[in-house]
Homo-oligomer: A and B are copies of this chain.
Amino acid sequence: MPEFGASAIPTPPALSSSRNTTPTPTTTSEEESSQGSASTPDRPATAIPELKRRSKYRHVAAYHSETRASCLSRDSNASPSFFGFRNLVVIVLIVMNLRLIIENFMKYGVLICLRCHDYRKQDLVLGAVLFSLVPCHLFIAYLIELAAAQQVKGVIGRKKKSDLPNGKQMEEQPDFRRTWVYIAIAHTVNASVCLLLTSYSVYFYINHPGIGTLCEMHAIVVWLKNCSYAFTNRDLRHAFLHPSPENNLPTIYDSCPYPRNITIKNLTYFWLAPTLVYQPVYPRTSYIRWNFVAKRVAEFCGLAVFMWIISAQYASPTLLNALEKIALREWASIAERVMKLSTISLVIWLAGFYALFQSFLNALAEVLKFGDREFYKDWWNSPSVGRYWRTWNIPVYQFMKRHIFSPLIGRGWSPFAASVTVFTFSALLHELAVGIPTHNVIGVAFGGMMLQLPLIAATVPLEKMNSQAGKVMGNAIFWLSFCLVGQPLGALLYFFAWQAKYGSISRGLK
């Protein structure tokens, strides 16, 4: 109340102007410029005339001079921007996670511990042996293709001698097909022995799931490259045997026509290149930007450390806490754990995606002067699950499309049947990549991939709606299926199976 006492007896402006040194009109304009400038943008244009003809009386101004609606009402002409709430959501997210970090620290202290990690010497030795086995298999693949090329050169030579009309004779000949059967069997045996040997060793002899995953992934990648190498050279050989204008090959291959691409150097480049699709020739850059490579490598290392810290400090305790809930089938608790895990696994997944697809593959491509760096597209905007699978992993997508989907369509299969085949094949590879290193081929990865098919079918209409609402809904369904059900539940189940078989992988946690 002292305020009221102090300002309760102000003289009216007409009287006070005789006491004040500054005359009333001057102070009015001063107020206009100071307070008015701050508030004018908030006031609708229609209110200004009323303010302009302001009375000299301070306490009578008509602040309520017109009928106006609240800006959140439907009566309001324009709905306001919600830009601020977007910022708020981000801030709340950061604060909530900071809080969880503090909570985690108070509960567990620092769990990151270099020495606690339980890897064995046997794992390292065996891993190194498996890695060095792979080039041998590639060398065998090269020898197979070399033999095929020699045979074809022989055919061409004989053809030139017999000097018959070219096309007609060749199509009647079952020669090409018979040869291909032998070559295909040779490639299948060679590639599969490599994959089977690696899988067997990893499953039975490599204890550490990280080392196991690296070996298994490498074997799968090389197996896929082997397939692509065999198929592509098969078609190139056929085109070489049947030169005709309709059999045109991509112009980019012109610099290295068929038999000349069968060299160890060419195959080694394909082995190292960040692609699963064999081409005799790739678009290349003209020089290596080493500072670009250094930046990407630094990113990769930083993200690897980040992922390791997140896994050790946040994922491990959450997974361990979840174990007994799973064992007891406490569904509410399992849901709670999955939700907690979903944020953590999402962060790890995003970091891993960036580390692998942006940092690692770009660094590798730069060193190899590999020109086509489209390893992913903007999958995070996917308005459907199908779009996600077509955009997040371009190397695998290109392999599937070129060597499975497209040939099946060419044989008259329906796109649906071809898609089912692609996803079944992909599901098998996922189960291999996850089940073998964790020593639990329990089919969760396989099932998760197969579950994508109905999800894809369900979100196709949303993508085709072509409206903003459809996009947002499709995108939300994609994210939910991806980061809520897919990743964390899978991780939980494989972790549970692992723990059921072996107990903890880390001595520090009990």
Contact = CB atoms under 8 A, between A and B. Distances in A.
B4 A475 contact: no
Contact of A68 (B34, B50, B371): B371
A165 interface: no
A10 B70 contact: no
Interface in A200-225: none
A268 interface: no
A69 B373 contact: yes
A75 B292 CA distance: 10
Contacts of A339: 95-96, 98-99, 102
A89 B380 CA distance: 12
Interface string A403-417: 111111111100100
A502 interface: no
A59 interface: yes
Contacts of A248: 53, 55
A282 B27 CA distance: 28
Interface in A369-409: 371-382, 386-387, 390-391, 398, 401-409
A181 interface: yes
A285 B67 contact: yes
Chain A interface SS verdict (over half): helix
B346 A92 contact: yes
A246 B56 contact: yes
Nearest to A44: B374
Contact of A60 (B10, B66, B249, B382): B249
A327 interface: no
A235 interface: yes
Contacts of A75: 373
Given A87-B476, A339-B98, A63 B402 contact: yes
A297 to B, nearest CB: 15
A20 B411 contact: yes
Contacts of A164: none
B279 A64 contact: yes
Contact of A57 (B22, B249, B285, B476): B249
A482 to B, nearest CB: 9
Given A4-B227, A63-B279, A91-B480, 20 more contacts: A3-B424, A7-B408, A10-B411, A12-B180, A27-B412, A31-B415, A34-B415, A35-B401, A42-B391, A56-B246, A57-B239, A61-B402, A64-B371, A67-B373, A71-B378, A80-B381, A81-B378, A82-B380, A99-B339, A102-B335
